[in-house]
Amino acid sequence: DTVYLNGSFMPLAQATVPVLDRGFIFGDGVYEVIPVYSGHPFRLEEHLARLAMNLEAVRIRNPLVITAWHDACSRVIAANARLSDQSLYIQVTRGVAPRDQAFPRPDVTPTVLIMSMPLVTPGPELVESGVSAITALDIRWQRCNIKATSLLANVLLRQEAVDHGVAETLMLREGYLTEGSSSNVFIVKKGVLQAPPKSQYMLPGITYDVVLELAQAHGLPFDIAPVSEAQLRAADEIWLTSSTKEVLAVVTLDGAKVNDGKPGPVFRRMHALYQAFKN
């Protein structure tokens, strides 16, 4: 369980952060989750680019140059090579300072953590059966494109799913689908893949991009446009996408079957394309 913390490599149990870290006090930080298949990080450049964008968005100085990010990630992955697949977690907070909402002055050093966790992607049974989901009002703020560590709304929304015994909560804002509590959402109608356009109301998912690239490359028709609640409920297929869920079919929504209640043909095609592509 070797982690990287502020330039040093150490066992997880020894990695500690002062209580005045602004990540602890305010959730003042950003993060990434990167899947690692057989030691190879998937779409690392894209994840690091999104991290850099997020740091800029919240005005935290990027603490490492790109080569240093690559180096630190490689070393954490190598140190955890006993895990066949890993989920690499990067978190950067604004740093440690006396509690005050405004940025610390003078500037403090950002806190950087990189750790590895086992990557648990949906197994064959889950891919075959699909999962259930519920809907809820999107109670989050208006900067959902930032992958911030302040995730209280997501925590509450995801727990609603757990309380209902389902896998995910799909969020609706002013009658339109935004995303899941920790995933992006696609629908299929009459063979056409549809997803909401990137906006301040959803995270620009790396997996979302991969799915659209695969659709493009393999001639699957798609349409990036707002998805209304009515379109969501009338969809032939609903999918979740994320770095850890990959592509997963939703077969019941708020207790109602999605089409015949089984993962659909377009899902099966995309799932196969994704599996082939990630390796």
* Residue from 54, 121, 169, 182 in contact with ligand PDD (CB under 6 A): 182
Q: Which of 103, 105, 197, 194 is nearest to 145 (CA)?
A: 197
Binding letters toward ligand PDD, positions 232-251, x by CB under 6 A: ---------xxxx-------
* Residue from 80, 132, 194, 207 in contact with ligand PDD (CB under 6 A): 207
Asked if residue 93 binds ligand PDD (CB under 6 A), the reply is no
Q: How many CB atoms lie within 10 A of CB 237?
A: 25
Asked if residue 33 binds ligand PDD (CB under 6 A), the reply is yes
Say whether 147 is catalytic.
Answer: yes
In the complex with ligand PDD, the residue whose CB is nearer, 132 or 243, is 243
Strands (E) located in the chain = 2-5, 8-11, 29-37, 40-41, 85-93, 111-118, 131-137, 168-173, 176-180, 184-189, 192-195, 222-224, 237-242, 246-253, 256-257
Looking at residues 118 to 147 of the shown chain, list those that interact with ligand PDD (rule: CB under 6 A). Answer: none
CB 30 within 8 Å of CB 60: yes
* Residue from 28, 138, 168, 179 in contact with ligand PDD (CB under 6 A): 179
d(Cα 231, Cα 253) in Å, to the nearest integer? Answer: 13
d(Cα 171, Cα 154) in Å, to the nearest integer? Answer: 10
Q: Which residues are CB-contacts of 85 (< 8 A; sequence separation ≥ 6)?
A: 35, 36, 37, 38, 118, 119, 121
In this structure, what are the phi and psi dihedrals at residue 6, rounded to the nearest 5 degrees?
50, 45
d(Cα 33, Cα 43) in Å, to the nearest integer? Answer: 11
Q: How far is the CB of 97 from ligand PDD (least distance, A)?
A: 26
* Residue from 205, 249, 258, 267 in contact with ligand PDD (CB under 6 A): 205
Report CA torsion sign: 119, 125, 130, 133. negative
In the complex with ligand PDD, the residue whose CB is nearer, 54 or 111, is 54
In the complex with ligand PDD, the residue whose CB is nearer, 96 or 248, is 248
In the complex with ligand PDD, the residue whose CB is nearer, 108 or 160, is 160
Cα angle 114, 116, 117; round to 5: 140
In the complex with ligand PDD, the residue whose CB is nearer, 40 or 257, is 40
Asked if residue 187 binds ligand PDD (CB under 6 A), the reply is no
How many residues sit close enough to ligand PDD to count as binding (CB under 6 A)? 15
Of the listed pieces 58-66, 118-126, 199-207, 212-220, which binds ligand PDD according to CB under 6 A? 199-207
147, 189, 190, 245: the active-site residue: 147
Residues labelled as active-site residues? 147
Rule CB under 6 A: which residues touch ligand PDD? 33, 154, 179, 182-184, 203, 205-208, 241-244
